[in-house]
Amino acid sequence: MDVTTILTENITVGFVIGFLIGILVKIASKAIRNLLILQLIVIKWLEARNILIVDWHRLTNGLIGQQELVLNQTTDMFESLIEMGVFGGALLGGLMLAKRIGKK
């Protein structure tokens, strides 16, 4: 196989996969966001009616300790994407195109 054929194939596949993943992530993130907002409203309503008692301070203290773990995992994922080379660049291009099309 020729090098240009391999590069073209990787760029095409990466771009298509990136575009599809971008669209799916956009749809899923909206659905999850709406679900979380609805749950928070229900929890606050139940708390206002004294049906449910929530210790909000204890919940936030648990989340603060996890910030470093999340940052490390994000960094590792980003480094892996960069190491993929041409395929990673095409994947990113597809994600950007999906994001741009989704705004319109």
| 10 falls within a domain | yes
- How far does the chain reach from its first CA to its final CA, in angstroms? 40
Q: What is the pLDDT of residues 22-34, one digit of tens each?
A: 888 888 888 888 8
Angstrom CA distances, 86 to 19, 22, 26, stand at 15, 18, 24
Instruction: Report how many domains make up the chain.
Output: 1
How far from the centroid of its chain's Cα atoms is residue 9's Cα? Answer: 26
Q: For residue 8, is pLDDT > 70? A: yes
pTM recorded for the entire structure: 0.44
Write down the residue that tokens 């741009």 correspond to.
Answer: 100
- The sign of the CA dihedral 78, 83, 89, 90 is negative
- Condensed to tens digits (0 to 9), the pLDDT of residues 49-102 reads 888 887 776 666 665 666 676 677 777 777 665 555 666 677 777 778 887 887
Residue 60: give the domain boundaries: 3-99
Instruction: Give the pLDDT of residue 69.
Output: 67
Domain membership of residue 104 (yes or no) is no
d(C-alpha 90, C-alpha 49), whole Å: 52
